Structures are given as C-alpha cells and as structure tokens.
Amino acid sequence: MSEDAKTLAAGEYAALGLLKRSRMHGYEMARTAREEGLTEVCPLEQSALYGYLNNLEAMGLVAWTESRQGRRPPRKLYRLTPRGSAIVDGWLASPVTRMRLVRTEFLAKLHILASIDAAATAPLIQRQLSVCERYAESISSTISEASGLPRLVAQSRHSAALATIAWLESYLREIQPPVGAPA
C-alpha cells in the first residue's frame, strides 16, 4: 500500500469502495451508505463524505466530471482514478490489523466486497480469521504471567478475540455451503 493509502480514514476507503461499484454523485453516495447501513460502521454522513471526497481528489484517487440535468445546478459525478482503484482493491483484500476495527472497518469492507466480488469474501474472512487467531494466541500467553488489572485486561481482550473468531467462523459457514452440498 502506498504512503497516501496508509493515511486514509475508514470512511475514505468506504467512499472509494462505493465508487468501485459505479460512478456516483456525492449525495447519491451518502444516500446509498445510509440505506445500506454503512453509516452504522463508518462515518459516511453527507457532511463527512464531501470532506473525504475533497481529500481523495487532492490525492489523485478520485476525479469528477460535471453533470447537468435539466435546469438543475451542475453536480459532480465522481469516479475512481486508476490509482484509486488499485488502492481500494488492496484495502478490500486486506484484513484489519486491530481487533476493534473488526466491528467497524472490516464490516464495511466485507459489505462492499460482497457487492463487488462475492467470491472474494470467504478468502478475506479466512485472512481475517488468521489475524484474529494470532492475536488471541499472543494474548493467551500473557494471561498466566499477569496479575491484577493487567490480567483482567488480557482476559477481556482474549475473550473478545475468541468471540470474534467464533463469529467469523460462523459467518464463513453461513456463506460457504459444506463441501459436497448442492449449491
């Protein structure tokens, strides 16, 4: 991932993801995010979205053309640039690295990816499972060595990681029929 991409907010990535589907006006992007529930996990309200689009344009990740409809004022129709497309492709293929991001950024990523390339969701979930399993193992080894509040924190983090792993495994089974089952 490029240096620019490392500085993007989850909402900026989600905006790129929406544009990966199709060209859109800012208002249409905000409405789509709201209707699909993306605003539950990413800040994609209209006021934030226009700031994201300005940043993404300044980085050369999106461009726009003016569109007119009848007597209405002109509107910007946003599209991904080739660089923006490459960056969002990398984001969509990569698991999140922090557990707390599973319930926000990962959910947004999973939703957008499912609408673009449903076959790619299971491999993404498997990669996310690997990250979560490594994290749970690393936390597990610290529990027995800790005491007091540090032990409670480690136990809490371990428990949360195990719950996330169980949810990911359950969702993976939900979207993948068992081997040999009719599709």
pLDDT of residue 179 exceeding 90: no
pLDDT of residue 125 exceeding 70: yes
**Residue 18: band (very low, low, confident or very high) from pLDDT cuts 50, 70, 90:** very high
pLDDT value at position 2? 52
Domain 3-95: which topology? Arc Repressor Mutant, subunit A (1.10.10)
For the record, the structure tokens of 139 come out as: 């936390």
Instruction: Kindly report the average pLDDT of the chain as a whole number.
Output: 93
pLDDT value at position 14? 97
- The domains of the chain are located at 3-95, 118-175
pLDDT value at position 67? 87
Who contacts 142 (Cβ-Cβ below 8 Å, separation ≥6)? 154
Secondary structure of residue 82 in the 3-state scheme = helix
Q: What average pLDDT does range 2-16 have in this prediction?
A: 82
pLDDT value at position 183? 57
**Residue 17: band (very low, low, confident or very high) from pLDDT cuts 50, 70, 90:** very high
Give tens-digit pLDDT for 93-120. Answer: 999 999 999 999 999 999 999 999 999 9
Give tens-digit pLDDT for 31-83. Answer: 999 999 999 999 999 889 999 999 999 999 999 999 888 888 889 999 999 99
Q: Specify whether the CB–CB gap between 45 and 30 falls below 8 A.
A: yes
DSSP 8-state class, residue 67: E
Report which of residues 68 and 10 the model is more confident about: 10
Q: Specify whether the CB–CB gap between 116 and 101 falls below 8 A.
A: no
